[in-house]
Amino acid sequence: MRVTLQAPGRAALLSIVRYPASPWGWRCARIDGSAWHHRGAMNAPTKPSRTAPADTASGPPLGENLHSPVIDWFDENARDLPWRRPEAGAWGVMVSEFMLQQTPVNRVLPVYEQWLARWPRPADLAKEAPGEAVRAWGRLGYPRRALRLHGAAVAITERHGGDVPADHAQLLALPGIGEYTAAAVASFAYGQRHPVLDTNVRRVFARAVTGVQYPPNATTAAERKLARALLPEDEPTAARWAAASMELGALVCTAKSESCHRCPIAAQCAWRLAGKPEHDGPPRRGQTYAGTDRQVRGRLLAVLREAHGPVPQAALDRVWHEPVQRARALDGLVADGLVEPLAGGLYRLPLT
């Protein structure tokens, strides 16, 4: 079975072919099209004006029929989030990217505001003990992110004079910074051209272009290649596209209840045109919390965050009834550098 996407008066933009034996189910077979209109960078104070279409002598880029609708939709529907405002700066963008990993916006907002009020620059955080970053992290979950953000702040202060670097390679060299975070900061803070692949973007691309309901459990080389192919050539437009496609996945093309009637590219979506075939790839990983070591770790850390000094073992023993799991969780916190053991059976958040 073949589904072809075609704009009026143009050659076929995208051809999707059904391969029953493929774990993807649908694959892009042929790409044609024409150029897109340019837009301004993400943090531009005014709505950018369009420029003339790019030269199409060598053929149009993949995704040209997606860029303008998605960016226009973003211009009208983007949430007013503090890290998207110009005053947030690169440090504000970086803090948000650490906090938003596997954590919803509504939980991040109050912690983000408190964090930036206390540590408005990387050097302010770098002066503090790492345990203070863990304490301020509160109940956001995955507290190792707090240690990594503290380590990045120290490195930024020591290597870059306290300013978050704009160079992608320098961002990637910071401790605790992976490919996604480096690309996100370079794109959202500095308006550069990088593929920014979070869960929301991957889902939009899987449906709109590849024609499957969900992306693989882990990011693949094929997804990275597709994301690069979908990037507009113009840097400000590419940065705007990265933010817009992410917001589309967060608000419209959601995991469980997609709102195709509100989607600006529903008419071009390969998955929708194919009749929304059910996911036939590997089982999707579910996230559980109750009764897991993560829950125990969270309870142990809560005691240490609320304490003004070292905490005795007995106080930690009271938070979980099962001694073997409790000991395993505490050992894991120590191994991760989130808890520092002291003589006499005492524990505290790390000072170094």
Helix/strand/coil for 314: helix
Radius of gyration of the chain (CA): 23
- 182 token code pair: 């480096």
- 290 token code pair: 């109750």
Helix/strand/coil for 198: coil
Alpha-carbon span 56 to 75, nearest angstrom? 26
Contact 163, 93 (CB under 8 A): no
Alpha-carbon span 78 to 247, nearest angstrom? 7
Active site residues: 97
Alpha-carbon span 320 to 235, nearest angstrom? 52
- From the number of C-beta atoms within 10 Å of its C-beta (0-12, 13-18, 19+), residue 308 rates as exposed
